[in-house]
Amino acid sequence: MDSHERDEGGEQDVGGERHVEDGRHVEGEREAPGGQRVVWAVVGTGIGPLMLAATEDGLVNVVFHATDAVRDRALARLASRLGTEPVHEPGSPLLAEAIRQLEAYFAGERRGFELPLDWSLISGFNRQVLRELAAGVPYGTVVGYGDLAGRVGQPGAAQAVGVAMGSNPLPVVVPCHRVVESDGGIGGFGGGLETKRRLLALEGVLPEPLF
Protein backbone atom coordinates (compact mmCIF):
# COMPACT_ATOMS: atom_id res chain seq x y z
CA MET A 1 0.00 0.00 0.00
CA ASP A 2 2.94 2.32 0.57
CA SER A 3 3.42 3.03 -3.14
CA HIS A 4 -0.19 4.13 -3.49
CA GLU A 5 -0.34 6.71 -0.73
CA ARG A 6 0.94 9.84 -2.35
CA ASP A 7 0.73 13.57 -2.71
CA GLU A 8 -0.22 16.30 -0.28
CA GLY A 9 -3.55 17.22 -1.75
CA GLY A 10 -5.90 14.95 -3.66
CA GLU A 11 -6.57 15.04 -7.38
CA GLN A 12 -9.82 13.25 -7.95
CA ASP A 13 -13.04 14.01 -9.79
CA VAL A 14 -15.42 16.74 -8.69
CA GLY A 15 -17.94 15.60 -6.12
CA GLY A 16 -20.31 17.14 -3.61
CA GLU A 17 -20.19 18.42 -0.07
CA ARG A 18 -20.52 16.86 3.35
CA HIS A 19 -20.04 17.65 7.01
CA VAL A 20 -18.13 15.83 9.71
CA GLU A 21 -20.00 16.02 13.01
CA ASP A 22 -18.31 13.97 15.71
CA GLY A 23 -17.39 11.39 13.09
CA ARG A 24 -20.79 11.35 11.40
CA HIS A 25 -21.64 12.90 8.06
CA VAL A 26 -24.35 14.90 6.43
CA GLU A 27 -24.33 14.69 2.65
CA GLY A 28 -25.08 17.54 0.30
CA GLU A 29 -24.78 15.95 -3.11
CA ARG A 30 -24.14 18.94 -5.30
CA GLU A 31 -21.39 19.96 -7.66
CA ALA A 32 -19.04 22.70 -6.51
CA PRO A 33 -19.60 25.76 -8.70
CA GLY A 34 -16.65 26.94 -10.76
CA GLY A 35 -15.16 30.28 -9.89
CA GLN A 36 -16.21 30.32 -6.25
CA ARG A 37 -14.15 32.14 -3.62
CA VAL A 38 -11.25 30.15 -2.16
CA VAL A 39 -9.18 31.37 0.80
CA TRP A 40 -6.10 29.83 2.34
CA ALA A 41 -3.68 30.11 5.24
CA VAL A 42 -0.70 28.22 6.66
CA VAL A 43 -0.79 27.24 10.33
CA GLY A 44 1.97 25.79 12.47
CA THR A 45 1.32 22.42 14.15
CA GLY A 46 3.17 19.69 15.97
CA ILE A 47 3.72 17.93 12.64
CA GLY A 48 4.91 21.02 10.79
CA PRO A 49 3.11 23.69 8.78
CA LEU A 50 -0.28 22.78 7.34
CA MET A 51 -1.92 24.71 4.52
CA LEU A 52 -5.68 24.99 4.90
CA ALA A 53 -7.96 26.08 2.07
CA ALA A 54 -11.69 26.72 2.26
CA THR A 55 -14.61 27.79 0.11
CA GLU A 56 -18.04 29.07 1.11
CA ASP A 57 -19.07 25.41 1.40
CA GLY A 58 -16.35 24.45 3.88
CA LEU A 59 -12.80 23.24 4.29
CA VAL A 60 -11.65 21.93 0.91
CA ASN A 61 -7.96 21.03 1.34
CA VAL A 62 -5.38 20.29 4.02
CA VAL A 63 -1.78 20.07 2.83
CA PHE A 64 1.12 18.65 4.82
CA HIS A 65 4.63 20.15 5.00
CA ALA A 66 3.51 23.46 3.54
CA THR A 67 6.86 24.93 2.57
CA ASP A 68 6.77 27.61 -0.12
CA ALA A 69 7.28 25.08 -2.92
CA VAL A 70 4.65 22.63 -1.63
CA ARG A 71 2.22 25.47 -1.00
CA ASP A 72 2.67 26.91 -4.49
CA ARG A 73 2.00 23.54 -6.12
CA ALA A 74 -1.10 23.04 -3.99
CA LEU A 75 -2.41 26.51 -4.82
CA ALA A 76 -1.87 25.96 -8.54
CA ARG A 77 -3.75 22.67 -8.33
CA LEU A 78 -6.62 24.30 -6.45
CA ALA A 79 -6.84 27.13 -8.98
CA SER A 80 -7.04 24.59 -11.79
CA ARG A 81 -9.59 22.36 -10.10
CA LEU A 82 -11.86 25.00 -8.58
CA GLY A 83 -11.68 27.60 -11.34
CA THR A 84 -10.41 30.53 -9.28
CA GLU A 85 -7.18 31.80 -7.74
CA PRO A 86 -7.05 31.10 -4.00
CA VAL A 87 -6.62 34.22 -1.84
CA HIS A 88 -4.28 34.33 1.16
CA GLU A 89 -6.61 35.35 3.96
CA PRO A 90 -5.60 33.83 7.30
CA GLY A 91 -8.19 35.93 9.15
CA SER A 92 -11.10 34.76 7.00
CA PRO A 93 -14.21 33.54 8.83
CA LEU A 94 -14.18 30.63 6.36
CA LEU A 95 -10.97 29.38 7.99
CA ALA A 96 -11.37 30.49 11.60
CA GLU A 97 -13.19 27.44 12.98
CA ALA A 98 -10.99 24.95 11.14
CA ILE A 99 -7.89 26.63 12.55
CA ARG A 100 -9.37 26.66 16.06
CA GLN A 101 -10.36 22.99 15.96
CA LEU A 102 -7.05 21.83 14.50
CA GLU A 103 -5.14 23.75 17.17
CA ALA A 104 -7.29 22.07 19.83
CA TYR A 105 -6.68 18.65 18.25
CA PHE A 106 -2.91 19.07 18.27
CA ALA A 107 -3.07 20.34 21.85
CA GLY A 108 -4.83 17.10 22.86
CA GLU A 109 -8.05 18.95 23.64
CA ARG A 110 -10.24 17.67 20.78
CA ARG A 111 -10.93 14.16 19.49
CA GLY A 112 -13.31 14.87 16.63
CA PHE A 113 -13.99 17.63 14.14
CA GLU A 114 -17.27 19.48 13.63
CA LEU A 115 -16.58 21.31 10.40
CA PRO A 116 -18.37 21.85 7.10
CA LEU A 117 -16.36 20.16 4.35
CA ASP A 118 -16.31 21.02 0.68
CA TRP A 119 -15.79 17.62 -0.91
CA SER A 120 -15.20 19.00 -4.41
CA LEU A 121 -11.75 17.49 -5.00
CA ILE A 122 -12.78 13.83 -4.83
CA SER A 123 -15.67 11.54 -5.78
CA GLY A 124 -16.67 7.97 -6.54
CA PHE A 125 -15.12 5.02 -4.69
CA ASN A 126 -12.45 7.18 -3.07
CA ARG A 127 -15.04 9.46 -1.52
CA GLN A 128 -17.10 6.47 -0.38
CA VAL A 129 -14.09 4.98 1.38
CA LEU A 130 -13.10 8.25 3.01
CA ARG A 131 -16.68 8.80 4.19
CA GLU A 132 -16.68 5.40 5.86
CA LEU A 133 -13.27 6.06 7.39
CA ALA A 134 -14.29 9.33 9.01
CA ALA A 135 -17.66 7.96 10.13
CA GLY A 136 -16.49 4.64 11.48
CA VAL A 137 -12.88 4.87 12.69
CA PRO A 138 -12.80 7.20 15.69
CA TYR A 139 -9.92 8.88 17.48
CA GLY A 140 -7.47 6.46 19.05
CA THR A 141 -8.39 3.47 16.86
CA VAL A 142 -7.05 2.01 13.62
CA VAL A 143 -8.40 -0.11 10.77
CA GLY A 144 -6.72 -2.33 8.17
CA TYR A 145 -6.83 -1.50 4.47
CA GLY A 146 -8.64 -4.76 3.76
CA ASP A 147 -11.05 -4.29 6.65
CA LEU A 148 -11.95 -0.82 5.39
CA ALA A 149 -12.49 -2.24 1.90
CA GLY A 150 -14.88 -4.78 3.37
CA ARG A 151 -16.84 -2.06 5.15
CA VAL A 152 -17.71 -0.47 1.81
CA GLY A 153 -18.65 -3.81 0.26
CA GLN A 154 -15.41 -4.38 -1.66
CA PRO A 155 -13.50 -6.95 0.42
CA GLY A 156 -10.86 -7.54 -2.26
CA ALA A 157 -10.06 -3.87 -2.76
CA ALA A 158 -7.35 -3.28 -0.15
CA GLN A 159 -5.02 -1.83 -2.77
CA ALA A 160 -7.71 0.52 -4.04
CA VAL A 161 -8.26 1.67 -0.46
CA GLY A 162 -4.56 2.55 -0.34
CA VAL A 163 -5.06 4.69 -3.43
CA ALA A 164 -8.05 6.37 -1.81
CA MET A 165 -6.02 7.19 1.29
CA GLY A 166 -3.31 8.76 -0.85
CA SER A 167 -5.94 10.80 -2.65
CA ASN A 168 -7.45 12.23 0.54
CA PRO A 169 -7.71 16.02 0.11
CA LEU A 170 -8.50 16.54 3.81
CA PRO A 171 -5.96 14.58 5.87
CA VAL A 172 -6.08 14.80 9.66
CA VAL A 173 -9.73 15.95 9.51
CA VAL A 174 -10.59 12.86 7.46
CA PRO A 175 -8.18 10.55 9.32
CA CYS A 176 -6.29 8.46 6.77
CA HIS A 177 -3.47 8.15 9.34
CA ARG A 178 -5.70 5.61 11.13
CA VAL A 179 -5.47 3.08 8.27
CA VAL A 180 -2.71 0.49 8.76
CA GLU A 181 -1.62 -2.86 7.38
CA SER A 182 -3.39 -5.96 8.66
CA ASP A 183 -0.09 -7.61 9.63
CA GLY A 184 0.70 -4.82 12.06
CA GLY A 185 2.76 -2.65 9.72
CA ILE A 186 2.11 1.07 9.79
CA GLY A 187 1.38 1.27 6.04
CA GLY A 188 2.00 4.22 3.75
CA PHE A 189 1.12 7.86 4.18
CA GLY A 190 1.11 10.86 1.87
CA GLY A 191 2.53 13.05 4.63
CA GLY A 192 5.40 10.64 5.34
CA LEU A 193 5.71 7.81 7.83
CA GLU A 194 7.13 10.01 10.60
CA THR A 195 4.07 12.25 10.34
CA LYS A 196 1.81 9.21 10.51
CA ARG A 197 3.64 7.94 13.60
CA ARG A 198 3.30 11.32 15.30
CA LEU A 199 -0.43 11.51 14.63
CA LEU A 200 -0.96 7.97 15.94
CA ALA A 201 1.17 8.81 19.00
CA LEU A 202 -0.92 11.93 19.62
CA GLU A 203 -4.02 9.71 19.65
CA GLY A 204 -2.41 7.16 21.96
CA VAL A 205 -2.14 4.36 19.40
CA LEU A 206 1.67 4.40 19.35
CA PRO A 207 4.14 5.50 22.02
CA GLU A 208 5.46 9.05 21.73
CA PRO A 209 8.70 9.27 19.68
CA LEU A 210 11.78 9.46 21.86
CA PHE A 211 13.20 12.33 19.80
Catalytic residue among 176, 180, 200, 202: 176
User: What 8-state DSSP symbol labels residue 8?
Assistant: S
Confirm whether 176 is a catalytic residue. yes
Are 177 and 197 within 8 A, CB to CB?
no
Count CB neighbours of 184 within 10 A.
8
Q: What contacts 47, CB < 8 A, 6 or more positions away?
A: 64, 106, 191, 195, 198, 199
Q: How far is residue 128's CA from residue 109's CA, in Å, rounded to a whole number?
A: 29
Provide the annotated active-site residues: 176
